[in-house]
Chain A
Amino acid sequence: MSPPEKHPDPSDPFADPVRFIDERTAAAPLLRKTLGYLFPDHWSFLLGEVALYAFIVLIATGTYLALFFDPSTAKTVYHGSYSPLDGQTMSAAYKSVVNISLDYKAGLLIRQTHHWAADVFVASIVMHLMRVFFTGAFRKPRELTWIVGLMLLFTAFLEGYLGYSLVDDLLSGMGLAIGYGVGLSIPVIGGPLMLGIFGAPFPGNHDFWSRMFIMHVFVLPAALATMIGVHLALVMARHHTQFKESDRQTNKRIVGLPLFPAQTFRSLALMLFVVGILFLLGGLVQINPIWQWGPYEPWLGTNGAQPDWYLGWLIGALRLMPSFDVTIGHYTLIPNPFWGGALFPLFVLGVLMAFPWVERWLTRDNAIHNLADRPRDRPFRTAFGMSFLTFVFLVFSFGAADRLYVLFGLSYSAQLTLFRIAVFVVPVIVFVITHRICRELQIAESLDRTHEKVAELNVQIHEMQTDKANSG
């Protein structure tokens, strides 16, 4: 005999809405499953959530900014409230951003919060990526989640780049020029490709601004939102990984807090906390005061210009490359910016994309993994990850070599020589040290376990002896 079916108490205030939804969507089983979805409780699992909340802030603040922004390169003369720019000829795009910053109430707050949210969005994705890498959470059955996540990250780079390029201030123009140079450097097809994208040789025709705008406010955000949706759906389909913290967590059983109520309140709290911090940053910490840079013209440039942090690795790679163009007869097969600006990021993306399959092939491990590794338990992966991270970080650091010169007085050319050697040597050293540390930690743990065992045995022996003495 089956147990009697439960029905909601009709007097319960939730009963009617739930019945309404189920009758019309037949979603009660799905709803039940979703509300009961389990989240393993570990702080490092929140990094991806931070990225999600930063994305929500980006959509909200970005929509607000688009209500005032004028995506046009039409020339106008500025006569606004910022007197140092008075009488300057500038694009309508730049003028509208100066006005958003200085003339609209709360415009500066929203614009700075938008910029901070972009920096935090990419930063939290990178942190999340490191967490997933070092705990082996990318392994079967979660390789697709990993791939979608990487695509998300690289789309975010492009989205951020277009965002600050749209402003048409001096720095954004320098960034666009470099992007154009890197695009031109794609072997053989670079020239035609850039003519297609820009509509004309740099700085492009007036259509180009419309193209950047629709990419930045519609195409790429829609792509990002779709990828976030797929990423989360994939996570839910296979559930989170979890650390083995007790005997309860196994490869077949997940332990965690249910989505509702426990996780809902925690996640909402985290969301509002992230949004709050972003607005505090937007209010208190100045970022990209574009009215100080002035409008861009192709013949203008300034020293000490730095892109947003997440493009620093590309400027570093462009600067590190020795000077040569690969030529065939009269033709330039591989112009110099290709190595640092295009091949280097593609190489990093390729290594990360391939890693789950490479590791599976190297370890011959085809099993399903639901338990997250501790980094020390996989010395090779951890050492490789640290050394690869060091490589990218050193290239990134060299992007700020001119700032390092200003801060510490290290000559630029000395730094160049140093970094060209360091990017190859230091990762090897980091690999060896990390591998060693992982092994030492493992040995220390097994020693601890042995000591405990010995102590336990000693107690047992002692008890046996006293028993014997008593009985004897």
Chain B
Amino acid sequence: MKESRRGAEFTVVVLFLIAIVCAIGFIFVYAFFSPERMPNELLGISLGLCLIFIACALAVVGKRLVPNDELEDDYPEEHPQKQAEVVEQLHSAGSLITRKRLLLGAGSAAGCALGAAALTPVLSLGPFWDTAPLDRTPWKRGVRLVDESGDPLAADNILKETFYTAFPEGADPEEIGSPIVVLHLNATDLRMPRDRSGWTPRGIVAYSKICTHAGCAVALFRKPTFPTVERREALVCPCHYSTFDPFTGGSVLYGPAGRPLPQLPLEIDSDGHLRAAGNFSARVGPSWWNVREQPT
């Protein structure tokens, strides 16, 4: 027995020594390599192994070198006597008061009032009641379409079977109402809602790039490589695969989105550049209480 304990003690010392070597290795790697050549693997191995060797040493101590007898103890019991004393003490507060209800009511009211006052500054966080910003888009009749570097989009340069992202000229591209998808489709294939005639000059269509489901960018263009499987192009959101039909005014073809992708009416100006002919067909972004069909 004593022999085996000696052996365990020796093992513990050896494990600690190896851990020391690992720790020094970590310091050495850190000091020796420049940031761009730093081998992250060696850092992880040296520090990780240092910790694991100390862990092993402590495990040997815990299992072999300290008393390991299982002991017994009582589970705690209830204290009915103390409970009664607590109840009594709680009652003692009201023993002198005659109109408990009134005091309690007034106190609670004061507490609520203080709470309301203390919470009021929270209103500065954002325009809670003024939800108009949620409906805002920079698009209106005459705004030119520009690409990511700010150059205007010419109608002649919009190729078929290609996916373009465009923004309103001079506006903040990060605004959720800004980015749109522009596609050039076969004008004869378009089946737009009746009230949107003239929105798609030469078959060029534009939709909000923000998915109406959860607000991701509709960043995928399903271009049919195998016409027998999927006949026509579609716009797909990579987050939850809501799929919108650019031929029918952005209606939902597939996936969880609950309403169509808002469409932007287009026109071509005398220079041949694409311009918005108005605002979107519906409010952009994920649905919420006040998303109506037509923006006001």
- Sample 19 A-B pairs with CB under 8 A, ordered by A number: A38-B72, A112-B40, A177-B214, A178-B214, A190-B288, A196-B122, A201-B136, A202-B176, A273-B59, A280-B48, A283-B47, A301-B237, A318-B240, A323-B254, A324-B258, A333-B289, A336-B256, A340-B256, A413-B254
Q: Which B residues are in CB contact (< 8 Å) with A253?
A: 72-75
Q: Which A residues are in CB contact (< 8 Å) with B126?
A: 195-200
Query: A315 on the interface (CB 8 Å rule)?
Result: yes
B176 touches A300 (CB 8 A): no
A191 touches B134 (CB 8 A): yes
B173 touches A297 (CB 8 A): yes
> Distance (Å) between the CB of A380 and the closest chain B CB?
26
Q: Which stretch in B63-71, B79-87, B150-158, B265-273 binds the other chain?
A: B63-71
B47 touches A109 (CB 8 A): yes
Q: Which B residues are in CB contact (< 8 Å) with A315?
A: 239-240
> Distance (Å) between the CB of B81 and the closest chain A CB?
18
Q: Which A residues are in CB contact (< 8 Å) with B173?
A: 297, 299
Known: A191-B290, A195-B131, A370-B75. A265 touches B66 (CB 8 A): yes
Query: A377 on the interface (CB 8 Å rule)?
Result: no
A269 touches B258 (CB 8 A): no
Known: A207-B125, A305-B238, A335-B291. 19 other contacts (CB 8 A): A36-B71, A177-B214, A182-B214, A194-B288, A195-B127, A195-B133, A238-B76, A239-B73, A253-B74, A254-B73, A254-B75, A265-B66, A268-B62, A279-B47, A283-B44, A298-B179, A301-B239, A332-B290, A336-B256
Contact with A along B212-250 (1 / 0, CB 8 A): 011111111000000000000000011111100000000
Q: In the complex, which of the residues B175, B215, B259 contacts A180, with contact meaning CB atoms closer than 8 Å?
A: B215
A336 touches B257 (CB 8 A): yes
B217 touches A301 (CB 8 A): yes
Query: B204 on the interface (CB 8 Å rule)?
Result: no
Q: Which A residues are in CB contact (< 8 Å) with B213?
A: 181, 318, 336-337
Q: In the complex, which of the residues A102, A182, A207, A301 contacts B36, with contact meaning CB atoms closer than 8 Å?
A: A102
B44 touches A284 (CB 8 A): yes
Q: In the complex, which of the residues B76, B174, B239 contacts A237, with contact meaning CB atoms closer than 8 Å?
A: B76
Residue of B nearest to A412 (CB): B241
Q: Which B residues are in CB contact (< 8 Å) with A321?
A: 256
B45 touches A280 (CB 8 A): yes
The 6 tightest CB contacts between A and B, nearest first, are A283-B44, A181-B214, A265-B62, A325-B258, A276-B51, A301-B219
Interface centre among A197, A252, A268, A333 (most CB of B within 10 A): A268
A109 touches B44 (CB 8 A): yes
Q: Which B residues are in CB contact (< 8 Å) with A11?
A: none
Category for how many chain B residues contact A: 35 or more
Q: Which A residues are in CB contact (< 8 Å) with B72?
A: 38, 248, 253-255
Q: In the complex, which of the residues B33, B40, B59, B174 contacts A108, with contact meaning CB atoms closer than 8 Å?
A: B40
Q: Which A residues are in CB contact (< 8 Å) with B128?
A: 192-193, 195-196
- The complex places the Cα of A319 from the Cα of B211 at a distance, in Å, of 14
> Distance (Å) between the CB of B51 and the closest chain A CB?
3
B220 touches A301 (CB 8 A): yes
> Distance (Å) between the CB of A29 and the closest chain B CB?
15
> Distance (Å) between the CB of B138 and the closest chain A CB?
12
A261 touches B54 (CB 8 A): no
Q: Find residues 1-56 in chain B having any chain A CB closer than 8 Å to their own CB.
A: 30, 33, 35-36, 38, 40-45, 47-52, 54-56
Residue of A nearest to B33 (CB): A105
Interface centre among A113, A298, A302 (most CB of B within 10 A): A298
A187 touches B289 (CB 8 A): yes
Interface centre among B45, B167, B241, B242 (most CB of A within 10 A): B241
Residue of B nearest to A101 (CB): B40
Contact with B along A246-279 (1 / 0, CB 8 A): 0010011111111001111110111111011111
Q: Find residues 246-290 in chain B having any chain A CB closer than 8 Å to their own CB.
A: 252, 254-259, 285-290
B55 touches A273 (CB 8 A): yes
> Distance (Å) between the CB of B73 and the closest chain A CB?
5
Q: Which A residues are in CB contact (< 8 Å) with B131?
A: 191-192, 195
A106 touches B30 (CB 8 A): yes
Query: A322 on the interface (CB 8 Å rule)?
Result: yes
- The complex places the Cα of A279 from the Cα of B41 at a distance, in Å, of 10
Query: A149 on the interface (CB 8 Å rule)?
Result: no
Q: In the complex, which of the residues A81, A180, A203, A273 contacts B51, with contact meaning CB atoms closer than 8 Å?
A: A273
Query: A162 on the interface (CB 8 Å rule)?
Result: no
> Distance (Å) between the CB of B161 and the closest chain A CB?
18
Residue of B nearest to A236 (CB): B76
Q: Which A residues are in CB contact (< 8 Å) with B130?
A: 195
B217 touches A269 (CB 8 A): no
Q: Which A residues are in CB contact (< 8 Å) with B73?
A: 36, 38, 239, 253-254, 256
Q: Which A residues are in CB contact (< 8 Å) with B146?
A: none
> Distance (Å) between the CB of A344 and the closest chain B CB?
13
Q: Find residues 126-169 in chain B having any chain A CB closer than 8 Å to their own CB.
A: 126-131, 133-134, 136, 165, 167
A269 touches B289 (CB 8 A): no
